[in-house]
Amino acid sequence: MSPLAYLHPDDVGFPDPASALTDPDGLLAAGGDLTPQWLVEAYARGIFPWFERDDGPIYWWSPAERAVVRPGAMRVTRSLSKRIRNGGFSVSFDGCFEAVVDACARSRATSFGTWITPRMQAAYQELHRCGIAHSVEIWQSEALVGGLYGVSLGSMFFGESMFSVQPDASKIAFYHLNQRLQDWEFTLLDCQMMTSHLASLGAEPMARTDFLDLLAKNDLARTHLGSWQQADCSQAPQEKCS
């Protein structure tokens, strides 16, 4: 078994993802930093950060198998379709990024903490200010009831986390993201690790080798930089973001 690589914060770069450990699956390296340069380099190479303590090292992962959804291939059940049409929900993009990340952190919190630590939250807020990280917000009666956030590079979106305080709200956020990515001719939505929730939405496993092959063809010059807000999202109650 190869020793775990340690990354110096001043030297942006990662080892070959194929060298990641098998136990635990996908652990590639420790160290580095969470600056936009580090995070963009990571996602562009099929790597993402995950750690549980702000006072500990950053761990970087590239699992042997990814959960992915092809834009347009989301599984929408009859009941979910009815909720989307008649549930009284509205959607916005990049309307309350910080609130979405905070809600995701709280929804993941346990007595042992959450991997969306304050350090992680600050890192993705900086990516959002760079126009690279984006959020989808779902509203009901002027309340933020669901959403998700992730990173967009080239024609690929890398989902990070979602939350829901009303039934199906996170699924509805996922639906609207999927529609946006399909409209913009994105090639893939990466969901990182498979869960039963993601499988119910149409996520399928993809081997790391195939995932990296797609990444190699991803044109970063196509990145949709800046805010994803549109006129049809103006109904979102922006004053709730403060």
Say what the pTM is.
0.91
Q: Which CATH class is domain 67-230?
A: alpha beta
- Per-block average pLDDT, block size 10, for the chain (242 residues)? 84 96 95 97 97 86 97 94 94 97 82 72 97 97 96 97 95 97 97 91 96 96 90 40 38
| Rounded CA separation 126/49 (Å) | 15
Contact 201, 75 (CB under 8 A): yes
pLDDT given for residue 54 in this prediction: 77
Topology of domain 5-63, CATH: Alpha-Beta Plaits (3.30.70)
pLDDT given for residue 95 in this prediction: 95
Query: What does the domain layout of the chain look like in residue ranges?
Result: 5-63, 67-230
Tell me which amino acid residue 180 is. Answer: R
pLDDT given for residue 231 in this prediction: 37
